Structures are given as C-alpha cells and as structure tokens.
Amino acid sequence: MNVTLRRSIAAAVVLVVPLLSSCGFDRPTDRVYNPGVGVNNRSGSVDVLGAVIVSTSDGEGSVSATFVNNDVNHSDAVTRVTGSGKTSGVSVDLTKPLDITPGGSARLSAKTATTAKGAAIKPGAFVQLTFDFERSESVTVQVPVVPRSGDYADVPTAAPRRSATGSPSPTTPGTKSPSTSPSESPTSSPTG
C-alpha cells in the first residue's frame, strides 16, 4: 500500500472516530431526566408525577404526588391508594376522593390526609402503590420512601384523625375522650 494512501486513511480515521463516538442509541439526552427523588408515570390518561412517601417514623408517612388529567373534556378523581405486590400490607388513608379538573392537575399531600402505614415504610425503601381513578385506568408505581429531613423537612405531615367528638382518635393512654349521650349536648341551653 502506498504511504500517501495510508496517511490519508489514518487522517480520515482520526477525523471520523470522534464524530462516530457521539452517535448512538440510549444517549443521556434521549432519556427522561427526573431532577427530584419522586417517581413519574405518564403511561395512562392521568399522569402521576413526583410520587414519594415522606416518612415521619418507621412504619408511617405521608404520600405526596401530583396528578395531571390529560383528558380535556372530562374530570377525574383519585379514589383510592393502596399498597400492592410485596408491599400490599401498606394502607393509605385517603379520606375523600381528590378531584382533578379536565386538563388540570391536583396535588395529593398531607393536607388531603394521605397517611400511609405499614412495615415496608422505611427511609430508603420502595413501596409499590396503586392509584385508582374514577374514570381512568389504575396506575401502579414503585414509590421511594424518604426521611422527613433535608429537602423534605418542611413537608407537612397528616394530623391525627379526629373522632366525631373532635378529640384525637385513638386517645392517649391514661386519658378519657369526652363523650356525650344523645340526650346531652355540650352547647344545649334551656329554652324558656
């Protein structure tokens, strides 16, 4: 082979190799990047975004997530959140459905009373949660559990559930919850 031809081929290789090394599949720019800890799922009619459980103590935490309704004609609602798979023992207290306007979004947080309880809730773990909707198909995701510290230190936690009489339920050991009988009322006064 001629020396000039070899030098030309070598020069071409030196110029082409860097160009080819930048080509390819599955480059970081081709993948969705989540800058936060929470998990996203955009596979259904309702997107589940930034889902996370903020742990207040082992075995308990608050579920936080944002839901985006992709249907611009019909409203939807989160009707139930449950543990599933290996973490089916996790229960989530959703006191009422979370309404999502057509084409809108809604946030599930401690303000909507989403206390999660179960042995699988420990910082650093993942809990498989299924979100059920009024109209759309259910979405199941592996949700990370994070401690209520650092970036999550200010996340509000769900307040203890109140009984019908207004006292926290269950009561603290050694105390009695106020009770009224049907014939008694703390606000009743004699009429005359």
Average pLDDT over residues 3-12: 82
Q: What is the pLDDT of residues 117-138, one digit of tens each?
A: 999 999 999 999 999 999 999 9
Among residues 49, 35, 32, the alpha carbon closest in space to that of 143 is found at: 49
Among residues 131, 129, 145, the alpha carbon closest in space to that of 52 is found at: 145
Instruction: For the chain, give the mean pLDDT.
Output: 78
The pTM assigned to this predicted structure is: 0.65
Record the tokens describing residue 64, joined without a space: 């936080």
DSSP 3-state percent helix, strand, coil across the chain (nearest 5): 15, 35, 50
Q: What is the pLDDT of residues 50-94, one digit of tens each?
A: 999 999 889 999 999 999 999 999 999 999 999 999 999 999 998
Cα atoms found within 13 Å of the Cα of residue 31, Cβ hemisphere only = 8
- How many residues in the chain? 192
**Chain centre distance of CA 121:** 13
